[in-house]
Amino acid sequence: MTKVLIATEKPFAKAAVEQMTNICKTAGYSVKLLEKYTDKSQLLEAVKTATAMIVRSDKVDKEVLDAAKELKIVVRAGAGYDNVDVNYAKKNGIYGVCVMNTPGQNSNAVAELAVGMAIYGIREFFSGKPGGELRGRVLGLHGYGYVARNVHRIARALGMTVKVYTRYSKAQAASQGIEVTNSLEELYAFSDVVSIHVPARGEHIKSVSMEVLQHLKENAIIVNTARKEVINEDDLCKFMQDRADVKYLSDIAPDCIDFFKENFEGRYYFTPKKLGAQTAEANMNAGVAAAEQIVAYLEEGDNTYQVNK
Ligand code: 3PG
């Protein structure tokens, strides 16, 4: 029997799990739920007999893939798949393990958090200190994927001017009437708020470095709902020491959180855990898409969303 493991250290909303279970059961599959696990050994045990697996930010590394002898497909219910060893998965078994994500399904939730953080930052963290307004200011989108497109939609309604730096989605941005800057430096130089929306892979790793940061406008706010890996943290710390006007808000804390606590009081905010996609709607959209993609792959070989082809 086909066995689907839903392994989420950070669980989906209950309604999403019910819907995902229904989809799998209708296809004749059994479902095993492993939520809020505290030790990797629990995941290693649960994955042993799984044919398919749905995860969120859960680490699917070599050890997990080696333990998953029956595994045919892993779906990361979400956008970023930096938590899955996609290349090792490809080499696993006779045909390789297919890895998919569910692009776009949780993007509005992350976009709303990014805008919320921009408001929180510009209003001085609701401390009572006089802040500013987003209307009339320039928003710089670093990247133009699904999340950034939603941020753009909301920012327009707020009366912001939006600019973007993107290498791969220039045509989409231009079709929305957004000015595409020639370089990342230019984007950072013109933006009052920079919102980062690039994945933690390839050239994006540590792409927000001193080279780029040094161009930031006075009183700029950086909002990072992407991944901490896209920032060069040493450079960020140095830069924020030199520039007391700059604020940094991020979905989950950087590794250098202690340095921030000691040096930058009143200039940063970090979520207690990654919660950009932690809404009922995003859980439902991404979870259901993941279950449907598994059925489509196993029954019809549909690999549309495979990221390790
Ligand atoms: C994503 O990459 O989809 C988001 O960062 C959400 O991650 P999560 O599923 O761990 O909340």
In this structure, are 192 and 290 located in the same domain? no
Predicted confidence (pLDDT) per residue in 34-52, tens digit: 999 999 999 999 999 999 9
Answer whether 79 contacts ligand 1 (Cβ < 6 A). yes
In this structure, are 93 and 151 located in the same domain? no
H or E segment and range at residue 222: strand 221-224
The pair phi, psi for residue 216, each rounded to 5°, is -55, 140
Secondary-structure breakdown of the chain: helix, strand, coil percentages, each rounded to the nearest 5: 40, 20, 40
In this structure, are 112 and 92 located in the same domain? no
Structure tokens at 209: 């470095």
In this structure, are 48 and 35 located in the same domain? yes
pLDDT tier for residue 89 given thresholds of 50, 70 and 90: very high
Ligand 1 centroid vs 109 CA: distance in angstroms? 10
Q: What pLDDT does 93 receive?
A: 74
Answer whether 276 contacts ligand 1 (Cβ < 6 A). yes
Number of domains in the chain: 2
To the nearest whole number, what is the mean pLDDT of the chain?
Answer: 97
CATH classification at residue 222: 3.40.50.720
Answer whether 56 contacts ligand 1 (Cβ < 6 A). yes
Show Cβ contacts of residue 84 under 8 Å, excluding neighbours closer than 6 positions.
55, 60, 74, 76, 99
Predicted confidence (pLDDT) per residue in 222-259, tens digit: 999 999 999 999 999 999 999 999 999 999 899 999 99
Answer whether 78 contacts ligand 1 (Cβ < 6 A). yes
Predicted confidence (pLDDT) per residue in 123-169, tens digit: 999 999 999 999 999 999 999 999 999 999 999 999 999 999 999 99
List beta partners, residue 39. none
Q: What pLDDT does 92 receive?
A: 82
Answer whether 75 contacts ligand 1 (Cβ < 6 A). no
Q: What pLDDT does 107 receive?
A: 98
Ligand 1 centroid vs 131 CA: distance in angstroms? 30
Answer whether 228 contacts ligand 1 (Cβ < 6 A). no
Q: What pLDDT does 94 receive?
A: 73
Query: Does residue 305 sit within a domain?
Result: no
In this structure, are 246 and 283 located in the same domain? no
Nearest protein Cα to ligand 1, atom 9: 56
In this structure, are 89 and 237 located in the same domain? no
Q: Residues of the chain with pLDDT > 70: what percent?
A: 100
Is residue 60 scored above 90 in pLDDT? yes
Nearest protein Cα to ligand 1, atom 6: 277
In this structure, are 33 and 86 located in the same domain? yes
